[in-house]
A and B are shown apart, each in its own frame.
Chain A
Amino acid sequence: EAGVVQSPRYKIIEKKQPVAFWCNPISGHNTLYWYLQNLGQGPELLIRYENEEAVDDSQLPKDRFSAERLKGVDSTLKIQPAELGDSAVYLCASSLGAGTPYEQYFGPGTRLTVT
């Protein structure tokens, strides 16, 4: 079974430029998460989707970040414009559903460097 797929794996951009990350969850997983991981820190949730609906986006900086999940499968996270402080690893995860029985499975992440 294929795991969570993310692309690109690495991205270097100049500040004020836009950037987008793509995630394909494990087949059949209805719940999708985007996390931000700074160096030496644990991941922090940005947004959670149940199918195509964003049900928890309280941690997403909506002035510059946006996300979508088309048809309840793939998802895209966008930053426009990027700032130096956005340099981090962006992780996508998925689970069969939301709630306590379900493990979250993570992709390899996209490492963003903003110069």
Chain B
Amino acid sequence: KQEVTQIPAALSVPEGENLVLNCSFTDSAIYNLQWFRQDPGKGLTSLLLIQSSQREQTSGRLNASLDKSSGRSTLYIAASQPGDSATYLCAANYTGANSKLTFGKGITLSVRP
């Protein structure tokens, strides 16, 4: 069964810390992987999309990597800020043209001032 796992479910860090959020997927034959941010009561905001042929993508303080052989993706957040507090979800596209995303349950991040 094609699944996506995010552990731990919650994380609390002090402001300024560099942190890594992990995402594991069960099938190395993914087409792409997308990281989202979700604020309480809000929809999902796309952060980064990594194609299967890519190793990483960067946007500002965010860097996402993809290692298909190990079934892992990581989202690196540099110099965390209280405004980064949110739930971060990763989603794998196992189906290519069908664009069906399989989501993890998310990691709820709290950055303490």
Query: Chain A: residues with CB nearer than 8 A to chain B?
Result: 4, 6, 31, 33, 40-45, 48, 55-56, 91, 93, 95, 98-109, 111
Contact = CB atoms under 8 A, between A and B. Distances in A.
Most buried by A among B44, B93, B104: B44
B89 A42 contact: yes
Contacts of B44: 43, 91, 93, 106
Interface stretch (B11-19, B60-68, B70-78, B95-103): B95-103
Nearest to A4: B43
B89 to A, nearest CB: 6
A97 to B, nearest CB: 8
A100 B30 CA distance: 10
B105 A99 contact: no
Contact of A42 (B4, B32, B45): B4
Most buried by A among B36, B98, B99, B106: B99
Contacts, number: 66
Contacts of B103: 41-44
Interface of B: 4, 31-32, 34, 36, 41-46, 49, 51-52, 89, 91, 93, 96-106
B43 A48 contact: no
B13 to A, nearest CB: 21
A43 B90 CA distance: 11
A100 B32 CA distance: 6
Contact of B43 (A31, A101, A106): A106
7 contacts: A4-B43, A6-B43, A48-B100, A100-B51, A100-B93, A100-B97, A108-B43
Contacts of A107: 43
A42 B98 contact: no
Most buried by B among A33, A55, A104: A104
Contacts of B34: 103-104
A63 to B, nearest CB: 22
Given A103-B34, A106-B43, A111-B41, A45 B101 contact: yes
Nearest to A42: B103
Contacts of B98: 48, 55-56, 98
B36 A106 contact: yes
